[in-house]
Structure 1
Amino acid sequence: MRTTAQFFKALSEEPRLRILALLLDGELCVCDLMAVLQLPQSTISRHLAYLRNTGWVKGRRGGVWMYYRLAEMETPLAKELVELLSKRLPELPDTQQDYNTLEAFRRTKKKCA
């Protein structure tokens, strides 16, 4: 039960929900998340570490940057919760704004530096 509680607790912070909503569309670089959320790298990394430790995301290194994606969920509860979040988070105005900001950032960025 403790693991399940930690899994749900990961959703209790707005930046983590926003990160998860952005990752619904696929893998993102930390620099992408910094640009959209307007938060420093240390804050983004702290939230990503929490999400990684609770099983929400997986990371991989690409050069000097880390790239994150949603993790494959192993339990029926986790799979259903991701399905629900995939359906409902994109409907929120804040999420739609984040998607627009990400799209604008992608048009102007060359590579994460």
Structure 2
Amino acid sequence: MTIQTARLSDPSVRAFVSAVNAHDRDGFLKLLTDDATMSDDGSERDLADWIDREIFSSHGHMEVDNESQRGRALLARYSNDTWGEMRTKWRFTVEDDGRISRFETGQA
């Protein structure tokens, strides 16, 4: 059962998913703090390289199946041209100004 993006609880996470699905790189980057970090399957990654490779150059798309932690943890079917579709988990750290300072993803 997919949760419509517009119904996601956390506004910053909702904007993150919307930017990914719209392939809006500029909008995506505006959601992040200047020193944002991320990890994939438990390994720290270079944020700029990862988002270009895994989201924007490969047409990444998220279909959210479940949310928890007031909308800051997601279970989603993530797909891109490189890997096809996989079940993934996402966790977000959102600062007081609403920008995301960290996200962690990996296979669920």
TM-score (norm 1): 0.30
Which structure shows the higher strand fraction? 2
TM-score (norm 2): 0.31
User: Larger radius of gyration, structure 1 or 2?
Assistant: 1
